[in-house]
Amino acid sequence: MKREGDKWWLYVRCVNVPAMPFVPTSCQIGIDLGVVNQIATSDGELKKGNLFGSKARKNLAQAQRELATKQRGSNRHRRQVEEVVRLHLKIKNQRSNAAHQLSRQIVNDYDFIAIEDLKISNMVRAPKGRRDPEQPGAYLPNGASRKAGLNRSIHDAGWGQFVSLLSYKAESAGRTLVSVNPTGGLT
């Protein structure tokens, strides 16, 4: 069981469930993940990402500013925390719904799916600081603020969630999903 905000979820895991293969379509596709366009396909189609996090950033920032003004332990503080949680859950649910719909559409339409094997956790890692040799205790600029914006966009695109949904749906539908090294070749 898991609690998210004021809702409880019960997870049930089924094992040894036979796959129900879909009717073959004899179509193939290659998928390239992106930030502005969520995916670019080998057919030349670009699917624009919704970027729910950036759309809700203004409302979320306002709710968090209001939370900062409330006294800890008060009922108003508790209600404002619930409001911030509700906004985060809304973004999460919108992102999940979009990923489910897109992955289902791809699995329904294509027998063979090739997707780039990105190391997302490495891509969103913060840059290391570099000490300034001329000033002890100071650091040189390392572009951390620009990198933080890119990291936020990568998380907002939801690459990891999309790939995991695509893989389990392809497996249950009897489709072939192959991870391709982004620099070239199969992995």
Hey, which residues does 2 pair with through a beta bridge?
9
Strand, helix or coil for residue 186:
strand
Q: Which of 54, 6, 9 is nearest to 157 (CA)?
A: 54
pLDDT tens, 149-175?
888 888 898 999 999 999 999 998 999
The one-character DSSP state at 16 is: S
Q: Determine the pLDDT at residue 69.
A: 96
Is the Cα torsion angle 176, 118, 41, 36 positive or negative in sign?
positive
Q: Is the distance from CB of 35 to CB of 49 less than 8 angstroms? A: yes
Written as one string, the DSSP assignment of 30-56 is EEEE-SSEEEEETTS-EEE---HHHHH
- pTM of the predicted model as reported, rounded to 2 decimal places: 0.82
Could you give the CA distance from residue 18 to residue 13 in angstroms, rounded to a whole number? Answer: 14
Q: Determine the pLDDT at residue 89.
A: 93
pLDDT tens, 66-122?
999 999 999 999 999 999 999 999 999 999 999 999 999 999 999 999 999 999 888
User: At 187, is the pLDDT very low, low, confident or very high (cuts 50, 70, 90)?
Assistant: low
- Which residue is it, tokens 């919108």? 94
Q: Which of 157, 97, 101, 102 is nearest to 124 (CA)?
A: 157
Q: Determine the pLDDT at residue 51.
A: 86
Amino acid at 20: M
Beta-strand relationship, 139-140 and 130-131: antiparallel
pLDDT tens, 108-123?
999 999 999 999 888 8
pLDDT tens, 19-65?
788 999 989 999 999 888 889 999 998 988 888 988 999 999 999 99
Could you give the CA distance from residue 143 to residue 132 in angstroms, rounded to a whole number? Answer: 15
Domain ranges of the chain: 2-180
Q: On the CB side of 145, how many CA atoms lie within 13 Å of its CA?
A: 1
Q: Determine the pLDDT at residue 186.
A: 64
Q: Determine the pLDDT at residue 179.
A: 92
